[in-house]
Every structure is written in structure tokens, then in C-alpha cells.
Amino acid sequence: MLRHVTQHVLLHRSDLLRNNTVVVRGRSGVLLVDPGITSAELACLVADLRDLGETVAVGFATHPDWDHALWHPDLGEVPRLATARCAAFLRDLRAKPDWQSRVVEGLPPEIADRTPTELFGLVTGLPDGTTRLPWDGPAVRVVEHPAHATGHAALLVEEARVLVAGDMLSDVLVPMLGDDGDPVSAYLTGLDLLEALVDDVDVVVPGHGSVGTAEQLRARLALDRTYVEALRDGRPVDDPRIGASAEPGWEWVADLHDAQVRSIAAREGRTPRTH
């Protein structure tokens, strides 16, 4: 079910991973960001938009992870946009003969047969350096950064003062580092770029988890920075998203954390300290 975040920004949530699909109403249809994730949930989204009298004008994938670049035929054959780097990553993936099986292998097993992948990743890259989304609706700033995944971008719906953060600034997931280059420095750079927006934001919508206020945005930025710096420095991590304080059903985030500690320690040639 769609619910209002502001007058012209709405939210549709998927159950399993608390994925947030964002809908921004424009003059000739809506901007649809990261639609997901099962066929039934996408069909529900289609029905909700129909009930509002809305059609989709343009889609946007914040990054190339499987749960952020999905689509449903009934959403329409409309432009689906992403950053140039995100689009290139997805184009290279889809060029592999076994691309669909690779995507399916990465799905949670409980939804692997209920998630449509045929239209996955069919996005068009914006020109490099694009900072404004081209569409017939409220001004949307594109903020590309190197954190988490290739070509990741946040969107700032300026008049509504809503920051659509992609896989950043979650209250249930710790920062998930990328695989290439220096993932710690890349993530800290991403946090710097998002922090530069705080005076323009009243509401933050993470890719997974709860919508936050401006005060919660600042708190999440500080918490994420503390987490990433602790990984970098090899210090124990005290974070409410892992351990005994984690939300019921999200205990597996501790395993994600332990894997990241081991990965960073291996890069640095030191013994991991997961606790």
C-alpha cells in the first residue's frame, strides 16, 4: 500500500527486506525509484498507482543491486534511468550468457521463484556528471557517490526536501561496503557528500528500513561514520543494528558485519576483531 511521505512523495514498502520504493508525483506521471521486489508486491504497486489515477513517466535505479533495478511489465515501457556507471555495470552483467541465473543465485531463497528478473537492469545511463533528473516534475537533484556499489546515487527531491538515499542511512542495516578499490574511503566519501545535503533535507528515505526525520538523518550519518571508521581502524564496533540490540528478524546483520570485519582485516593484513 502506498503511503504519503509528503504531499507529492509516496512510499511503497516490500516485506522481506523492508525495501522502500519511492513515488514522486509529476505533471505527466510519476517518478518511480527502485520498484520491488516480488511479483505480487510489484502488482500491488501497479494497482495502487492505478487507484491514484497515476501512470509511470520515468523510473530510476539508485544502484545496480538486484533489489534496486527490477521492473514489472505493467509499469509500462518508459525511460528507466540510472547513472552512467550504474548503467554500464548492468549492461556488462546482462551481456553474460548466464546473467539471469547469476541474478537468481543472489536472491534470498524464500523469494527466488517470486521475483521477476526478465526486465532487471534495463536502464539508460544519464550523461556523466548529470546533477538534475530530466523529467516533467519537481526538481530532483542527482547526487552520485562511490559508496556501496558502482554508480550509486541518492536523489534529493528539492521542493519536498526528501532525500532518497538508496542503500545508505538505514536504521536496520549497517553500512555495506563495496568490493573495489578502497571501499572504506569510498564509503566515507559517500557519507561526506550526503552530509553536505543535510540543511536541505527534512525527510530521509533509506533503501531499507524506516523513514527518518532531519534529526534522525544527522544521527544516522554519525552512526554510519563511526561504524566505518571502526572497521578501518580495526576497533570493536558498538552499533545498535548488530548484537543483542538488533531488531527481531535482523540478527543476520551481525553475520554481514563479521564478514566485513574479516574482509577489511584481510586487506590490511591484520587479525580480525569482530567483537
Give the largest Cα separation in the chain, rounded: 57
Structure confidence by residue, pLDDT tens digits, 126-170? 999 999 999 999 999 999 999 999 999 999 999 999 999 999 999
Strands, E, within the chain: which ranges? 3-4, 9-13, 20-25, 30-33, 56-60, 80-82, 124-125, 140-144, 153-157, 162-164, 203-205, 212-213
Read off the pLDDT of each residue in 167-191 and give the average, rounded to a whole number: 95
For 59, counting Cβ atoms within 10 Å of its Cβ (0-12 exposed, 13-18 middle, 19+ buried), the class is buried
- Encoded amino acid at 12, one letter: H
* Domains of the chain and any CATH numbers: 3-268 (3.60.15.10)
pLDDT tier at 180 (50, 70, 90 boundaries)?
confident
Measured CA to CA in angstroms, residue 121 lies from 69, 102, 117, 155, 206 at distances of 5, 13, 9, 19, 20
The structure's pTM equals 0.96
Before 37, cis peptide (omega within 30)? yes
Structure confidence by residue, pLDDT tens digits, 76-126? 999 999 999 999 999 999 999 999 999 999 999 999 999 999 999 999 999
CA–CA dist 178, 61 (Å, integer):
17
Read off the pLDDT of each residue in 263-268 and give the average, rounded to a whole number: 86
